[in-house]
Amino acid sequence: MQHRIPIEELGAHGRAMADAAAMCVHCGFCLPTCPTYQVLGEEMDSPRGRIYLMKGVLEGELDARAVAAHVDRCLGCLACESACPSGVPYHRLLLPYRAATADKVRHPFLARARRRLALSTLPYRRRFRIAVRAGRLTRRLRPVVPAALRPMLDLVPDRLPTAEPIPETIPAVGARRARVALLIGCVQEVLEPEINRATIDVLTRNGVEVVVPGGQGCCGALGWHVGEIDDARMHARRLLSAFPRDVDAIIVNAAGCGSGIKDYPLMFAGQPEEAAARELAERAVDVSVFLDRLGILPPPPLEAPLRVAYHDACHLCHAQQVRSEPRRLLRAIPGLELVELDDGERCCGSAGTYNIDQPEIAGELGRMKADAVRRTGADLVALGNIGCMVQIRAHLGANGKGRPIPVLHTVQVLSLAYAGRLTSVLPPRGDADGDRCRAPSPVPARAG
């Protein structure tokens, strides 16, 4: 598409944004795959429309404030990138655009407060724990809490799991085939620490030594996805020096973080850290991809057949084009029947902090995802992202509808299968406590 974007005036990101807009031929193939277009049915809330509007703002033809609501509503799910025949790298326009226009658009006070609150608690594990406990107390005051802040309250879990701290090095079981570093994440380690422990369990069982460097924090994806680039870079810089060189890969087990790290070269374009950012991005790999490439030990057969629905996290399937690896891993478990969800690649509504910022759309998408899950008759949902886990659990449990369906990370499924305890995860018939179902901790692999 023709454009008059003044690239030179837009700094290091100018070229990336202009090139992305130029590749778009306005064909519209992205429209049916865009969740917000499906829900809202208007051109401004479609990828094609957003590209056009962002282009207009960058050209100086349109006011960023007039366009803001539509850009805010974008989930960043990148389903459009998967659908686009021209290969438009939509995220290379959206994310730098959000960063570039953050100070031009003045959101309402409460929305800004909410954003500040999220960015100052979620990335910090200790603060987040405190905030959750405070949230539980504040829940009773929900009716008097401003509407803009209520979605945050609604997502606070009832109780926080406790877990043993992770040692710095966990040796492989048996002969060592590889050595990796693990990114433990921020929110994930607080809300569902079992994911990291299961990751370590599965890796070590398969002969991989795992190093968990201290001093890791948030990867910065949360801020990056909403245009808070300074905040994002601050977190990312810490990570750039956190990982040792002598590992075969840096394992990421949260899709949102994996895609965030893949964007580091863009995040640091024109910055002194650009080379280091590129290097880290190249070394990072999703746990499912690493395990699939490595070749895992076959898990023992399940005690009883289990139907598992696999949910594609947007930041795995669209942002990183990872689809077949988790499926192959799950299918390696004898007795596990893998089923697909209708419109499986449609976002569940989690999308970083989207379910806090845009609760109506997120709610609609979450409902649609939960309905799709129930339609498969699955006993369990497997996925690869903490945000999706929280969102889908909340919607599966909503209104106490139907029988409870546990939601687990792919590595948790593998870990339990190795221990012969996967079927024990299922609630006994008649248990209505849907979203309270939590996986029991994996049995730690023996060293030596």
d(CA 38, CA 51): 17
| Residue closer to other proteins (CB basis): 52 or 264 | 52
* Listed ranges 63-71, 186-194, 371-379, 384-392: which one lies at the site for other proteins (CB under 8 A): 63-71
97 is an interface residue for other proteins by CB under 8 A? no
Q: Which of 10, 15, 39, 62 binds other proteins (CB under 8 A)?
A: 62
CB of 226 to other proteins, least distance (A): 20
Q: CB under 8 A: which stretch of 51-59, 240-248, 250-258, 383-391 binds other proteins?
A: 51-59
- Cβ-Cβ contacts under 8 Å for 295 (sequence gap 6 or more): none
Under the criterion CB under 8 A, does residue 7 sit at the interface with other proteins?
A: no
Read off the tokens for 434.
């849907």
From the list 52-60, 163-171, 263-271, 348-356, the region that binds other proteins by CB under 8 A is: 52-60
Residue found under tokens 């024990």:
424
Rounded to the nearest whole angstrom, what is the least distance from the CB of residue 432 to other proteins in the complex?
Answer: 34
Is the torsion defined by CA of 369, 408, 413, 219 positive or negative?
positive
Please state at what angle helix 410-418 crosses helix 324-331, rounded to 10 degrees. Answer: 20
Element (H or E) spanning 81, and its range? helix 79-83
- Find the shortest distance in angstroms from Cβ 3 to other proteins: 8
- Least distance to other proteins, CB of residue 110, Å: 21
Q: Residue 183 to residues 202, 337, 391: CA-CA distances in angstroms?
A: 15, 30, 22
Distances (CA, A) of 153 to 137, 138, 141, 233: 10, 8, 10, 28
The answer to whether residue 66 forms part of the interface with other proteins (CB under 8 A) is yes
Q: What angle is formed at CA 318 by the lines to CA 299 and CA 310, rounded to 5 degrees? A: 35
Examine residue 134 and tell whether it contacts other proteins (CB under 8 A).
Answer: no
CB of 6 to other proteins, least distance (A): 12
Least distance (Å) between residue 48 CB and other proteins: 8
Residues contacting 430, CB < 8 A, separation 6+: none
Nearest to 207 by CA among 295, 117, 268, 304: 295
154 binds other proteins per the rule CB under 8 A? no
Query: Which of 402, 398, 394, 396 is CA-nearest to residue 431?
Result: 402
Contact 277, 243 (CB under 8 A): no
Tokens of 97: 């655009």
- Our CB check for other proteins shows the closer of 83 and 156 to be 83
| Binding segment (CB under 8 A) for other proteins, from list 60-68, 148-156, 287-295, 341-349 | 60-68
Q: From the list 84, 322, 373, 439, which residue makes contact with other proteins (rule: CB under 8 A)?
A: 84
Measured from the CB atom, the residue of 71 and 155 that comes closer to other proteins is 71
DSSP H helices, 226-320, are 229-240, 255-262, 264-267, 274-283, 287-294, 314-317
Q: Contact between 49 and other proteins (CB under 8 A)?
A: yes
Q: In the complex, what is the shortest distance from the CB of residue 233 to other proteins, in angstroms, rounded to a whole number?
A: 29
Q: Which tokens belong to 189? A: 């380690």
Q: Which position among 52, 268, 310, 418 is part of the footprint of other proteins (CB under 8 A)?
A: 52
Residue 61 is a binding residue for other proteins (CB under 8 A) = yes
Residue nearer to other proteins on the CB measure, 63 or 433: 63
Which of residues 15 and 129 has its CB atom nearest to other proteins in the complex? 15
Residues 10-39 that bind other proteins (CB under 8 A): 22-29, 31-32
Contacts with other proteins by CB under 8 A: the residue count is: 31
Instruction: In angstroms, give the least distance from the CB of 267 to other proteins.
Output: 25
CB 417 within 8 A of CB 302: yes
Residues in contact with other proteins by the rule CB under 8 A: 1-2, 22-29, 31-32, 41-44, 49, 52-53, 56, 61-63, 66-67, 70, 84-88
